[in-house]
Every structure is written in structure tokens, then in C-alpha cells.
Amino acid sequence: MQTLIEKAAQRLAGERRGAAMTGAGVSVESGIPDFRSRGGLWTRFPPEEYATIQAFRRDPEKVWRMLAEMEKTLDASSPNPGHRALAELETLGVLEAVVTQNIDGLHSRAGSRGVVEFHGSHRTLTCLWCGNACKREEVRQLPVPPRCSCGKVLKPDVVFFGETIPEKALHDAARVADTCRVLLVAGTSAEVYPANQLPSRAKRRGALIVEINVAPTLLTDSVTDIFIEGKAGEALPLLAEAVKRLL
């Protein structure tokens, strides 16, 4: 693993135009289970029943049973060494952006500034019926499910299946993929479209793809150039240390 980390560090330190794309795996060490691993959220709440926009419109109270559990986990979480290492790589001047599929806000809390929240965020909510928007802080004390002043159930601004990616996030992520020279792909199964297209897009533009995951994924044999098998919270700090030594 050390040799692969050194190799990735050399390219990051040399190019100084890296980016990261992250998934639920980077927050596992913050106590947030991922979606598809054993015991993951989608193994207990089938996404077709709990995570499509049609399901939310049909029965928002039911979907909020899943969301309430998720919010509880998010409230108890804080950034781990993997999030902090990505923030440090940005401070060192070798990483320009983190495109994340996570809605937990932990990259920003760790100090990353160039964060693209591809699947939205749980920090704000919107009423699908009257369009009213509010912050989570404003509804935190309300009974679950939180309701808008119009009486309907509020929806967090996270992307449900069947919804489109926020336009700005789509645009910003495409720019990141087109301009980075090294892309760190950490803690994602790469099963969800269109986020899973970003690594191959970056590779077509000449970027080196460095994947960090506890297990191989759909990308590993096809798109990945360097596969670092390990926990993001362990491998990313080692990578940041190696870059620091080289600068």
C-alpha cells in the first residue's frame, strides 16, 4: 500500500491540480453506515419504497421514518481523519475540489472549501407543494415529520431517485472532471448515475484515477489507474503526509 500511496502522492505534488470524488465510504469512520454494504441503509429501507421522489410524494410520513433515523446518525457524527486529510491536501495547494455524493456536510466541517454537493444537502428543506424553503435549524425541534406553514410535509434538499442533480452541482462537477489532473475516488461503489460517470470523464481528459476503497468496485478494473485497498480514514492521511514530504 505504501508504494501505491507514494506513487499517487508524487503525481499530486507534481501536478498540483488534483480533485476528489467521495461517497458514503468516507463517512463510515464517522459512524454513518453506507448504503449498499451489509447492514447499509438500503438493505433496511429499500430505496424504491423510501428514496424515490414518487415515494415521498405518495407517503412522506413513511419516508420520514428513514430520514429521521438518518438525521439522528448525522447529528451524532463529526469529520474523521479522511475528511481532514482531504482538507489538508487543499490547504497544501494540490487539491482544488471535492465532489461528494454525501449529504452530511462533513467535508465542509473538516475545512474543505471547494466542496460540490452533488446529491444536495440535509441542511435545508423545501416544501414541494408551496415552494417554501427553510433551514434544518428552524425545524429541528418540530415533531417528525416536520411540516411547512402550509401544513404539508417538508422535504430535505437531498436528491431522491427520480430527481435531477442540482444544475450548479452538475456544472461544477463536470468542470472539476474536465480540468483535474489527478482524481481521488474514495469510498464510493460507483453504482449511481450520473456521479459514477465523473471518473471516466476525468480519465478521458487525461487525469490519473486513484481509487481508495476497502473493496474493488465497478471502476477498479476498468477506469482506475492506482487502486489503494484500505479505509479512507487511514489511506488519505498517509497520502497527505506523503505529499507534505514531497513539497
Amino acid identity of residue 145, one-letter, is P
Placement of cell 503526509 in the chain? 241
Placement of cell 476497502 in the chain? 214
Instruction: Say how many residues make up the chain.
Output: 247
Strands 18-22 and 95-100: parallel
User: Quick check: 232 binds ligand OAD (CB under 6 A)?
Assistant: yes
Q: Which stretch binds ligand OAD (CB under 6 A): 29-37, 58-66, 123-131, 218-226?
A: 29-37
Q: Which stretch binds ligand OAD (CB under 6 A): 59-67, 68-76, 132-140, 189-197?
A: 189-197
Nearer to ligand OAD among residue 50 and residue 95 (C-beta): 50
Strands 155-158 and 120-126: antiparallel
Q: How many CB atoms lie within 10 A of CB 169?
A: 19
3-state secondary structure of 22: strand
Which cell is 232 given?
479512507
User: Quick check: 11 binds ligand OAD (CB under 6 A)?
Assistant: no
DSSP 8-state class, residue 220: T
**Interface with ligand OAD in residues 71-130 (CB under 6 A):** 101, 119
Amino acid identity of residue 31, one-letter, is G
Q: How far, in Å, CA of 112 to CA of 86, rounded?
A: 7
Amino acid identity of residue 111, one-letter, is G
User: Quick check: 213 binds ligand OAD (CB under 6 A)?
Assistant: yes
Whether 119 is catalytic is yes
The single residue among 18, 145, 187, 199 that binds ligand OAD, judged by CB under 6 A, is 187
Cβ of residue 149: shortest distance to ligand OAD, in angstroms?
27
Q: Which stretch binds ligand OAD (CB under 6 A): 61-69, 125-133, 145-153, 210-218?
A: 210-218
Cβ of residue 151: shortest distance to ligand OAD, in angstroms?
27
Determine whether 71 is exposed, middle or buried from the number of CB atoms within 10 Å of its CB (0-12, 13-18, 19+): middle
User: Quick check: 215 binds ligand OAD (CB under 6 A)?
Assistant: yes
Nearer to ligand OAD among residue 92 and residue 214 (C-beta): 214
Q: How far, in Å, CA of 215 to CA of 147, rounded?
A: 41
User: Quick check: 45 binds ligand OAD (CB under 6 A)?
Assistant: no
Q: Which stretch binds ligand OAD (CB under 6 A): 145-153, 175-183, 199-207, 211-219?
A: 211-219
Nearer to ligand OAD among residue 146 and residue 187 (C-beta): 187
* End-to-end Cα, the chain, rounded Å: 21
Helix (H) or strand (E) holding 21: strand 18-22
User: Quick check: 223 binds ligand OAD (CB under 6 A)?
Assistant: no
Contact residues: ligand OAD, CB under 6 A: 23-25, 28-29, 34-37, 40, 47, 51, 101, 119, 159, 161, 187-189, 191-192, 212-215, 217, 231-233
Active site residues: 119
